[in-house]
Amino acid sequence: MKNTLKIIAIFFASIFVLTSCSESKEKFVYPLWEGAEWADDYYIVGKLDEQTYAISEPTTEWYYNTSYLILGKEKALLFDTGYGTSAGKNIMSIVKKMTDLQVVTMFSHYHFDHIANVENQKSVWLIDLPYLRERTTDNQLKLTSKETMQFSSPTVTVSKWIKPNEVIDLGERKIQVLNITGHTTESTVLVDEKYKQLFTGDFFYDPLLDYVDLADDTDVNLLINSAKKLITNYDETYIFNGAHGFPKQSYATLKKYLDFLRLYKNKSLDCEINLTSMGFQSVYEKDGMRITTSTYGGSMSNQFLINVVVSLIVLILIVVSIVKKIKKRRKH
């Protein structure tokens, strides 16, 4: 019985550790950025300019998703719907208070923390990539587990396809749609020349949060090429609004990010291994920038599956041990 209790204690201690946030970096408590206010008990909203709003979810631990509402004269564009589903929230409850315009939704990419309530979005515009078109039947696109990083994946009703580099008109406000790869194949960046800003999704965001090399999707070579492309085509007069943390990142920070990616690619960064919610992660950090990747399994998703399998094996061993003890007692 003592051995069984030890196994149970180890099992639950492991679960506790694996579901805890990394302690290697002091937990950062996010203040509201200038002009941002609480919209309810979950979302904060900040006005970036007279026609653009950032909608953030600061209570979602390390996610701190930030979505964007871009207003034209005829339509409003919602870029990402965030993580809210897991918290029982729907970003549209905030959006409807902010505009009476028809709202169309686009996504920076299809990871679960950016597509909350995607199946219920009435007008979804997707970037037009051949492999997505081929999988679409009667305007229905079934996302894959790899794309969403979930075991069960939603079906998207596609209202309109937008080709890479196409410019969409929201009514006296034109937004260019770019396919900027590296984080995922479908990663989308929006460019607003009127207000000199880019909406960069998970390609580039607030460095106070970790960048994550997922291995399944992330390609550091593509990230470097994409960063070089943006640095060449834009300049310090632009601001960069990422999908996590604070909006309004600078051109100088983007250049710093490119330098960091080059060091990471060349294996020039020191590494430390920490326990996180995904198990062990290898952490690379320099000059305030930090990237994490899986320590074993080859990718974050594989590592998570390994964690699940090991936990199930331990649980089965516990159950078998308990059953044996019960049978032994009954015999006596």
CATH number assigned to the domain comprising residue 236: 3.60.15.10
* Per-residue CA distances from 300 to 264, 271, 274, 283 (Å): 17, 17, 14, 13
Residue 236 lies in a domain: yes
pLDDT of residue 93: 95
Q: Which residue has the higher pLDDT, 11 or 159?
A: 159
Q: What is the dihedral of CA 32, 227, 27, 11, to 10 degrees?
A: 130
Total Cβ atoms within 10 A of residue 216: 15
Look at residue 293 and tell me if it is in a domain.
no
pLDDT recorded at residue 4: 46
Residue 226 within a domain: yes
Question: Residues 83-98: what's their mean pLDDT?
Answer: 90
C-beta of residue 111 within 8 angstroms of C-beta of residue 84: no
Q: Is the pLDDT of residue 190 over 70?
A: yes
- Confidence at 290, pLDDT banded by 50, 70, 90: very high
Number of domains into which the chain is organized: 1
Across the range 52-65, mean pLDDT stands at 88
* Full residue range of the structural domain in which residue 188 is found: 27-266
| Mean pLDDT computed over 75-90 | 91
Q: Is residue 314 assigned to a domain?
A: no
Q: What percent of the chain shows pLDDT beyond 90?
A: 70
The reply to whether 20 falls in a domain is no
194 pLDDT more than 90: yes
Kindly state whether residue 107 falls inside one of the protein's structural domains.
Answer: yes
Confidence tier at 328 by pLDDT (50, 70, 90): confident
Of 169 and 63, more confident = 169
Q: Greater confidence, 329 or 114? A: 114
Q: CA-CA distance, 14 to 301, in Å (whole number)?
A: 19
294 within a domain of the structure (yes/no): no
- Here the tokens at position 66 are 């930030």
Say if 308 falls within a structural domain. Answer: no
Which one-letter amino acid corresponds to residue 100? D
Phi, psi of 222 (to 5 degrees): -70, -40
Query: Whole-number mean pLDDT of the chain?
Result: 89
Q: Which of 30-39, 100-109, 127-136, 202-211 has the lowest mean pLDDT?
A: 30-39
Residue whose structure tokens are 């599956």? 305
